Amino acid sequence: MKGFLTMRIRPLRLSVAVMATAVAATTAATGVASADISFGSLGGSFGSSFGSSDGDMVITLVRHAESAGNLSGLVDTKVPGPDLTPRGRTQADNLAVQLADQNFDCGFASNMVRTAQTAAPTVAEHDLSLDIQPGFREIEAGDYEGTPEAEALSGYLQAPIKWLSGDLNARIPGSIDGNEFDDRFDEALLDVQRRGCTNPVIFSHGGTIMFWSMMNADNADMSKLGTDPMRNGGHVTLEGSPQKGWTIVDWVGHPDLG
């Protein structure tokens, strides 16, 4: 599986200016708050005893709403991470309304508080349970944890940028390389598939969503990182399967969520 998935990652041209725009967009935020959702009360597991399947899926990857980490201006990738801000909770409510007609059949979130809190209104709208899947977590910053987001291009994101050009052995100091990142997300999607989900909504993180999508979609358009990067509540929809590959069918980087 690892060899196949690695082979289908296409080298992509990367403009540093484009990536800088994307970084700025995904870290913009205002407001701080504590949460009224207990992370420990949310069920979920990694791995599954459900029967295997290789069926196609439509997956919707949603970036979390505004969090206190966004406000700090610092790279914050530790589990469980900060809560949503008051604005973030409003965004999560509005997002549930916008996604109400999508007929999701499963709901997943990473093992970070901000994704679970963002997911709660949407899974409630669809009368779904929320499964916590660690494989959808943010890319760990390693030695760059707590550094200014404004310096990400010369620090935290140096290795991920290389992943986009096919250098999956590039490692974030003190953290993961591109193979580990890609394999982790792919294994999480296999778990979703084994559960029989055909139209899941998955709440994840801006960096994770953008890098994985650009590394794996057969129609990846790098210009999206500059023209429509993933802001809070942004989402991308892909069709395909872990076995056959993925095609982006919708990209909403700038949702109007308030």
Domain segments of the chain: what residues?
2-33+44-252
Tell me the angle at which helices 16-27 and 206-216 cross, rounded to the nearest 10 degrees: 140
Torsion of CA 199, 200, 201, 207, to 10 degrees: -110
Domain 2-33+44-252, CATH homologous superfamily name and number: Phosphoglycerate mutase-like (3.40.50.1240)
Active-site annotation holds for 138: yes
DSSP string, 164-177: HTT-TT-B-TTS-B
Residue type, 91: Q
The residues, ordered by sequence, that sit 6+ positions from 78 with a Cβ below 8 Å of its Cβ are: 145
Q: How many CB atoms lie within 10 A of CB 38?
A: 9
Is there a catalytic annotation at residue 126? no
Q: ∠ CA 125-240-46 to the nearest 5 degrees?
A: 60
Largest CA-CA distance found in the chain, in angstroms, rounded: 45
- Among residues 64, 126, 205, 235, the one annotated as catalytic is 64
Q: According to the model, what pLDDT value does residue 39 have?
A: 28
Residue 142 falls in which region: left (phi positive, over 0), alpha (psi -120 to 50) or beta: left
Backbone angles phi, psi at 17, to 5 degrees: -65, -40
Structure tokens at 173: 């100091």
Q: Please pick, among 66, 125, 138, 140, the residue that the annotation labels catalytic.
A: 138
pLDDT at 101: 97
Q: Is the CB of residue 136 less than 8 Å from the CB of residue 108? A: yes
State how far the Cα of 185 lies from the Cα of 237, in Å rounded to an integer: 15
Instruction: Report which residue type is found at 247.
Output: T
pTM value is 0.82
What's the pLDDT score for residue 9? 41
**pLDDT recorded at residue 15:** 40
pLDDT at residue number 16: 40
Rounded average pLDDT per 10-residue block, the chain, 258 residues:
34 42 41 29 31 78 97 94 98 98 98 98 98 98 94 92 96 98 98 98 98 97 90 98 97 94
User: What's the pLDDT score for residue 53?
Assistant: 56
Please give the Cα distance from 68 to 51 (Å, whole number): 39
pLDDT of amino acid 160: 96
